[in-house]
Amino acid sequence: MKNIESEDEFNDLSNKGSVYVQFSANWCGPCKVLTKTIESIEDSQEDINFIKVDVDSHREIAQNFGVRSIPRVILFKDGEQVGDFVGAKNENDLKEIFQKSFK
């Protein structure tokens, strides 16, 4: 999962293809759980670009998307939001969400 370094990088990456964007923070326990789950399935989901936005470092991006709880995930397809959820999910739930959102 790629950690976003700037708003320009976020805009560039979130507008191309199928994109998983995880808003999280280093101090967030459920965020760590979700990150581990994503890392375990990331290689099998090669059509999806996985990126992470640290809400403490990039408050403006988080505010632009109304992030109030973390982990918050927003799914984009070619720049259009196609799904979102809050909280940690297991591997099977994530795969189902990906299938519905990115079909």
Average pLDDT over residues 62-88: 96
- Spell 54-66 as b/e; 16+ CB within 10 A means b: bbeebeebbeeee
* Number of domains, the chain: 1
- Residue 31 falls in the annotated catalytic set: yes
Please tell me which residue in 4, 21, 28, 51 is annotated as part of the active site: 28
- Confidence category of residue 28, pLDDT binned at 50, 70, 90: very high
In the prediction, which pLDDT does 38 show?
96
- Confidence category of residue 103, pLDDT binned at 50, 70, 90: confident
- Residue 47 falls in the annotated catalytic set: no
For the domain that residue 88 is a member of, what is the CATH number?
A: 3.40.30.10
Mean pLDDT across the chain, nearest whole number? Answer: 96
pLDDT digits (tens, 9 = 90+) for 39-56: 999 999 999 999 999 999
Containing structural domain, residue 95? 2-101
Please tell me which residue in 19, 21, 31, 88 is annotated as part of the active site: 31
CA separation for the pair 93, 100 (Å, rounded): 11
